[in-house]
Amino acid sequence: MEKHNGKYACSKRARARPYRAGTAAFARREFLAGVVAFWYPGMTTLVLLMFIAVWAIIIGATQIWGAIALRRVLQNEWLLIINGALSIAFGVILMVQPGAGALAVAWMIAWYAIFFGCLYIALAFQLRQYKRA
């Protein structure tokens, strides 16, 4: 049961103050990041591409490590090792040739959208057989 006295309300307000200040600082930082993204789209794209590259390298290394650690449990651990090696290669290529990497990422997003769009259309035709409740 919540207390309704002045002392409790004041202490609750005092505890909420740091969160409001943190939220305001976060909002200012996000606003400035958005402004920078609009003013420097090339740099924004490059930074995003580097994040993707580092993510791919870390994921690839983790996959290889997991395949080696679980080689007694997994049947075809070599598939996970190949997947990890391809992820690392993709990340390195993105870092070495960011222009080609940006184009490749754009193409992958386009193919992803087309492929899953077709899957959703097929799903819609499958769901037509069910009556509305």
Average pLDDT in the 106-110 region? 84
* Same domain (yes/no): 45, 35: no
- 50's CB contacts (< 8 A; 6+ apart) are 94, 95, 98
The string of pLDDT tens digits covering residues 58-73 is 999 999 999 999 888 8
Q: What pTM, to 2 d.p., does this model score?
A: 0.62
* Same domain (yes/no): 35, 45: no
* pLDDT > 70? residue 10: no
* Same domain (yes/no): 25, 56: no
| Domain span holding position 4 | 1-39
Average pLDDT in the 18-25 region? 69
